[in-house]
Structure 1
């Protein structure tokens, strides 16, 4: 069976066929770095890291690019409010982003281009659109002529006339048509800017990704991905810009993950129900959060509650306990047992079922169900009086394979790194400061279980490993 991908462009699942055999060019829209990311922002990195891992597992060489928008209206506003310059603020939150997603076991992209580092390419892209009369300068700004691009609306499956209803030209804009969108924005007094053929300014939001895709991956790529909220207008506008210039499809497959709701309400600033990932990871195992996110198919909405995340944590621990019991039995097994080939056939069935589920549009929810079935079978085997070392190793090998694809660490006997110990102690100190003694005790117990001894000194808490 081929991998099937639901293509937003066609609204159906399609067999995946890469442009170059055995290779995949994949671009995922990254964050605008003006604050810590919230848990909704964390879903695309988790989802598409898993997609990348699975494609690699199936033998593809994946060239994976994900950008940073490091200059933007929101960043300028945040920098002014905090009394920082734009580059300093952006750098701080890029660092924070890397820390947060690394905790979630998300692999870094092959390239993480930034807008400020791609400025010459962006300006050149806009110049070529002007030359082809797909864009025009007006009052120091440059706009894209939307009605000139005949396929505008094909991703959102809306016609130009439908989209024009309700479109307005804002004060200060000098557009030929209300649907025209900005490619280059003239700088306002005191704003960061770059010199261009149209004066001092900076790029519009949509042109950045088009320029980066072209520079790092070429005119046509295999997969372009991001959150559902980017489908329109961001990705629609990317298609218009890129295909107008390159006269070729921008991407063959468009993938979008669903929204996250908080306690059955849409996450929004107006409701004040944003949960910053940075804060969540102080209270919860990052692996439990990743497990929680993957337990729902990526195109479906997720409802977040503390209770559901607690349940995910318990479920993950059940699987880890099974893996730990398998490892323990190997260490203490002296009898090779019987029925080795029969059990290996059963285990192979689970591995094949995992591939079937993931081939079906990366259905991680069903893949995790296979993981539980595998654990159930392993627990039945562990009840046998005589166990076979080769069978035990076969179980563990499949847990390792599935865990690596899903980005889940299923082995419990790994020694904590020094940096992880320091991070846990910092989290415990913060919990105690906030009088969250239950969390502080849980962290202490976790450290003790890992063989870490804590010692209070006048200089603060020190730690050492049990000898």
Structure 2
């Protein structure tokens, strides 16, 4: 069991309020998060909800107990983007989705994300989706037309749009909805669509076809967590239409108005102050950054410095600072046993709608106070300073003071002789080894950067 006397508060998108989290059943706490569509490497934006909800998963386990919490996150492995990728590459769809699913798990593992208890793949739950669609038709919430099955938004008009705060009429006015002759209302959305012979397809009462995107999460969450569960999360780009449509389907199919009780949405990610896009050249996959020498633990700490409901800006400067912080903390906690639990102030900040920025401020205080055991236990709760995450920092710890001294002396010399060639040579060699060189009147400070290679210093 966990420490259930802690009160968790979460900002519920559904009510627009921060609410005290009260699980339906404290010994069976359930969370569902929308996972990736697997056709390529996960980009930095895809990683944000993974890290955010990993932190919530860790907090729930801390408070309610590991065995009492169930976390499900799906893989969308049937999708038009995957079909297009298969067509252009000439590869089998199953090969592409198997490979990209493993890439996702490997890359997220490097960011310290625990694997959810359930990771359902859409293609494994087609019969459940077909059954749910049949149920919606039987209850008058869906209709078949020209090989398609569509959800009838009018059948649930008074509730549709509550999550995103829009009315159906507003949505129609401002929507870029797919116009199709077989739709009764332009907002009706696809539950099932026909497949041609060259596309993945399954037999159904409406002919050979494949599910629409939204139905998969409704069918899988119902199967794994039940008709009503505690938390549903995802990026705020999914609020409409994906989550709105999930609520409509699930409430109508299950015959009640509950489904998920708390809805959490994380904000989007930028790179160096701009929206990430291939055209701006600031589009990174997680693997790109790992390959460039940014350790997963550093990426994780940068993510956690921003509250999940604020837009997050990934910058190289933040990464360098995070790396320096982690090296300091790792040096302080080396060989130390963690305290029996995280510091009370850390738990309080985390329980306040996942205030990770507040938690990190508390970690800095623990480090400043020299409380290595408290720092370690508290950082571990956030998935930081763990043994698994430490390989990057475990390289030989190099004493840089000698190099700092010789550069400082060379600089003093150069001031007198006006010949800066030796200073430039040393500085270039240190930068080449992956060190950031900070020079001031007071002295020289060398800060190891993401690609620091101590072997390159031997030439000096």
Q: Establish whether TM, by shorter chain, passes 0.5.
A: yes
Secondary structure of the residue aligned to 1:118 is helix
Pick one of 367, 381, 385 that aligns with 2:359. Answer: 367
- How do 1:45-84 and structure 2 match up within 5 A? 45-60=50-65, 61-84=68-91
Matched, 1:275 2:280: no
Asked if 2 retains the 8 angstrom alpha-carbon contact of 1:399 and 1:410, the reply is no
Asked if 2 retains the 8 angstrom alpha-carbon contact of 1:350 and 1:370, the reply is no
Pick one of 343, 348, 361 that aligns with 1:351. Answer: 343
Matched, 1:260 2:265: no
What RMSD over aligned residues (CA atoms) do the two structures have, in Å? 2.8
Give 1:167 shift: 3.5
Pick one of 195, 198, 202 that aligns with 2:203. Answer: 195
Matched, 1:208 2:203: no
Tell me what 2:382 maps to. 406
Secondary structure of the residue aligned to 1:182 is strand
Secondary structure of the residue aligned to 1:165 is helix
Asked if 1 retains the 8 angstrom alpha-carbon contact of 2:294 and 2:450, the reply is no
Tell me what 2:111 maps to. 104
Asked if 1 retains the 8 angstrom alpha-carbon contact of 2:195 and 2:210, the reply is yes
Change (3 A) 1:309 1:160: same
- How do 1:157-236 and structure 2 match up within 5 A? 157-167=165-175, 170=178, 173-236=181-244
Give, in whole Å, the separation in 1 of the partners of 2:179 and 2:194. Answer: 14
State the Cα deviation string for residues 212-233 of structure 1 (Å, max 9, x = none): 0000000011000011111111
Tell me what 1:144 maps to. 151
Give, in whole Å, the separation in 1 of the partners of 2:251 and 2:388. Answer: 49
The unaligned stretches of length 5 or more in structure 2 are 1-5, 396-430, 436-448
Pick one of 11, 17, 39 that aligns with 1:6. Answer: 11
Provide TM-score, normalisation by structure 1.
0.80
Give 1:161 shift: 1.2
- How do 1:28-43 and structure 2 match up within 5 A? 28-43=33-48
Tell me what 2:400 maps to. none
Change (3 A) 1:63 1:170: closer
Secondary structure of the residue aligned to 1:9 is coil
Give, in whole Å, the separation in 1 of the partners of 2:450 and 2:171. Answer: 53
Give 1:83 shift: 0.9
Give 1:269 shift: 4.6
Secondary structure of the residue aligned to 1:407 is coil
Asked if 2 retains the 8 angstrom alpha-carbon contact of 1:66 and 1:113, the reply is yes
Secondary structure of the residue aligned to 1:288 is helix
The unaligned stretches of length 5 or more in structure 1 are 331-346, 379-394, 422-435, 450-467
Give, in whole Å, the separation in 2 of the partners of 1:437 and 1:89. Answer: 38
Higher alpha-carbon deviation: 198-207 or 402-411: 402-411
Give 1:307 shift: 1.7
Give 1:437 shift: 6.3
Paired residue total = 398
Give 1:278 shift: 1.0
Give, in whole Å, the separation in 2 of the partners of 1:414 and 1:284. Answer: 13
Secondary structure of the residue aligned to 1:6 is strand
Secondary structure of the residue aligned to 2:30 is strand
Give 1:350 shift: 8.2
Tell me what 1:339 maps to. none
Give 1:349 shift: 12
Pick one of 130, 133, 139 that aligns with 1:126. Answer: 133
Give 1:268 shift: 3.3
TM superposition outliers: structure 1 runs of 4+ over 3 Å: 166-173, 268-272, 347-350, 410-417, 436-449
Provide TM-score, normalisation by structure 2.
0.81
Asked if 2 retains the 8 angstrom alpha-carbon contact of 1:357 and 1:367, the reply is yes
Give, in whole Å, the separation in 2 of the partners of 1:442 and 1:203. Answer: 44
Secondary structure of the residue aligned to 1:5 is strand
